Chains A and B, each alone.
Chain A
Amino acid sequence: MTQPVTAETVRTDAARHLGIGREQLTPGLLLGEDLGLDSLAGIELSMSLEERYQITITDDELADVSTYGELEALVLAKVSAR
């Protein structure tokens, strides 16, 4: 991937996956209560980002994520560790 991966690119891809506007996706949103994602939808979102950025997020890592900001930070950390 030639383009650098930033918080903005992750947010764009996550918002597209969720079918919502990028501006609606703020770091403090809870994946469950605020975004309405059940556990399977959370896995789907995680898998979508894994494929997009060629990273691997484990079940345990995903279990520790409760907000969108935490997921974004986890993805960015994985990308920088590639």
Chain B
Amino acid sequence: MIEARDGRRVVITGLGVLAPCGTGVDDFWAGLRKPAEPLVERKIPDFDAAQWGIKHVEARRMDLFAQFAVAAAVQALGDAGLDTASPYAEERCGILLGTGIGGVHAWETQTQVLLDKGPARVSPLVVPMVMPNAGAAAVSLRFGWRGPVETVCTACAAGTHAVSNGAKLVASGRCDAVLVGGSEAAHSGLMSTGFGNMKALSNSGISRPFDIDRDGFCSAEAGGMLVLEEASAAEARGAHIYAEIAGSGSSADAHHLTAPAPDGRGAIASMRAALADAGLEPGQITHVNAHGTSTQLNDLTEAKAVAEVFGAGGPAITSIKGVTGHSLGAAGAVEAVALALTFHHRELPPTMGTENVDPAFEIDLVTEPRSWTPGPALSNSFAFGGHNGTVVFLPA
């Protein structure tokens, strides 16, 4: 990693996740192999803020997306064993979170209050509930972490960019530990209508990445969180290490507000930048956790870009969005969690929902669980706005 100083390496030591297919890493991982019911809006079932130590009064001043961030962070810190005893000073602990849109529920409900009841009834907390950085702020307040606490807003690439930017804080020596991830709770009348009217959502409610019959994405709620630490310090305290983050790439298409560049140039540039950052050749990559949204354009462009970067006989490719749906700014974080678990379980999760891989795609799509010897792997995210992000994981 170009930012790495004094030989510092960045490792993943804790995971937390909330997704429609399961909350907590065990249920989530099991859920990735179960067929999802056709549903165009996939919610986190039975979310209970109190379960994650969010008090009644706190919950009322936190939009759902911020509550998801706290819940995922509670899990990840617990998994890392940093919740009860941490060797790190709070000012050397950072938080880098992504969200696509932010406090959608607060925005929409308070707009309705303004229209129905007038300005005197609008919550004085509407601004700090709506702001996209509210998730990172809530996590900082909860754990007292006082290092860099920032939010990336690059739509559907935000989660991956947050993982990448947080890893750089550890690599450079600015932080000893970081929480990185993302959360999204964007099911509202306005957002859902907008996605529907732009014809991005699936009519069938079936998410089937890279399938010939793919007809759009299924939008999802989610939260994903990872604890990153410097490798030697993590080893010294006996932490369980899932994988190393060896590099990342970021690029923009500069082509169109929502459509990917048809030649895949942005996606290709992002993957090549990530490989260069990690010091790897394309032939060394054994697995790609794809963005794979199940839209016509994303899957076409991503398949072409992967084929261009890796050539024939390239890496095994999976999209978990057949189960999870697309959680926008949380997606890259949830997929980073999935990739870390892929290293842990030594098994590639299948691309559920996909029955007939588009014959135009020259890719090795994983459609059944496949045993895997951990090797260099990468995860992609591509976004409205033309933002692209890639992270590279190595076996620890």
Interface residues of A (CB under 8 A from B): 18-20, 36, 40-41, 43-44, 47, 50-51, 56
A40 to B56, CA, bound (A): 15
Q: A44 touching B123 by the CB < 8 A rule?
A: yes
Which 7 pairs across A and B sit closest by C-beta, in order of nearness? A19-B56, A43-B124, A40-B124, A40-B125, A19-B57, A51-B121, A18-B57
B 95-126 binary contact with A (CB < 8 Å = 1; else 0): 00000000000000000000001001101110
A36 to B60, CA, bound (A): 15
Q: B57 touching A47 by the CB < 8 A rule?
A: no
Interface residues of B (CB under 8 A from A): 55-57, 60-61, 117, 120-121, 123-125
Q: A44 touching B60 by the CB < 8 A rule?
A: yes
Q: B56 touching A18 by the CB < 8 A rule?
A: yes
Task: Please name the residue on chain B nearest to A20 by beta carbon.
Answer: B56
- B61 to chain A: which residues have CB within 8 Å? 40-41, 44
Chain B interface mostly: helix
Report the minimal beta-carbon distance from B63 to chain A, rounded to whole angstroms: 15
Report the minimal beta-carbon distance from B373 to chain A, rounded to whole angstroms: 51
Q: A47 touching B55 by the CB < 8 A rule?
A: no
Q: A19 touching B55 by the CB < 8 A rule?
A: yes
Q: B56 touching A47 by the CB < 8 A rule?
A: no
Report the minimal beta-carbon distance from A47 to chain B, rounded to whole angstroms: 7
- A36 to chain B: which residues have CB within 8 Å? 57
A40 to B60, CA, bound (A): 12
A43 to B125, CA, bound (A): 10
Report the minimal beta-carbon distance from B131 to chain A, rounded to whole angstroms: 14
Task: Please name the residue on chain A nearest to B122 by beta carbon.
Answer: A47
A39 to B180, CA, bound (A): 31
Task: Please name the residue on chain B nearest to A51 by beta carbon.
Answer: B121
Residue of A36, A41, A56 with most partner-chain B CB within 10 A: A41
Report the minimal beta-carbon distance from B67 to chain A, rounded to whole angstroms: 15
Report the minimal beta-carbon distance from B363 to chain A, rounded to whole angstroms: 51
Query: Mind listing 22 A-B residue pairs with CB under 8 Å?
Result: A18-B56, A18-B57, A19-B55, A19-B56, A19-B57, A36-B57, A40-B61, A40-B124, A40-B125, A41-B57, A43-B124, A44-B60, A44-B61, A44-B123, A44-B124, A44-B125, A47-B120, A47-B123, A47-B124, A51-B117, A51-B121, A56-B120
Task: Please name the residue on chain A nearest to B117 by beta carbon.
Answer: A51
- B123 to chain A: which residues have CB within 8 Å? 44, 47
A29 to B343, CA, bound (A): 54
- A50 to chain B: which residues have CB within 8 Å? 120
- B124 to chain A: which residues have CB within 8 Å? 40, 43-44, 47
A26 to B379, CA, bound (A): 55
A40 to B58, CA, bound (A): 12
A43 to B353, CA, bound (A): 49
Contacts A47-B120, A51-B121 aside, 16 further interface pairs with beta carbons under 8 A come to A18-B57, A19-B56, A20-B56, A36-B57, A40-B61, A40-B124, A41-B57, A41-B61, A44-B61, A44-B123, A47-B121, A47-B123, A47-B124, A50-B120, A51-B117, A56-B120
- A41 to chain B: which residues have CB within 8 Å? 57, 61
Report the minimal beta-carbon distance from B279 to chain A, rounded to whole angstroms: 50
Report the minimal beta-carbon distance from A49 to chain B, rounded to whole angstroms: 12
A36 to B56, CA, bound (A): 13
Task: Please name the residue on chain A nearest to B60 by beta carbon.
Answer: A44
Residue of B56, B57, B123 with most partner-chain A CB within 10 A: B57
Task: Please name the residue on chain A nearest to B113 by beta carbon.
Answer: A51
Report the minimal beta-carbon distance from A73 to chain B, rounded to whole angstroms: 22
Report the minimal beta-carbon distance from B395 to chain A, rounded to whole angstroms: 46
A40 to B123, CA, bound (A): 9
Report the minimal beta-carbon distance from A46 to chain B, rounded to whole angstroms: 10
A6 to B56, CA, bound (A): 25
Report the minimal beta-carbon distance from A29 to chain B, rounded to whole angstroms: 15
A36 to B57, CA, bound (A): 10
- A43 to chain B: which residues have CB within 8 Å? 124
- B117 to chain A: which residues have CB within 8 Å? 51
Report the minimal beta-carbon distance from A39 to chain B, rounded to whole angstroms: 9
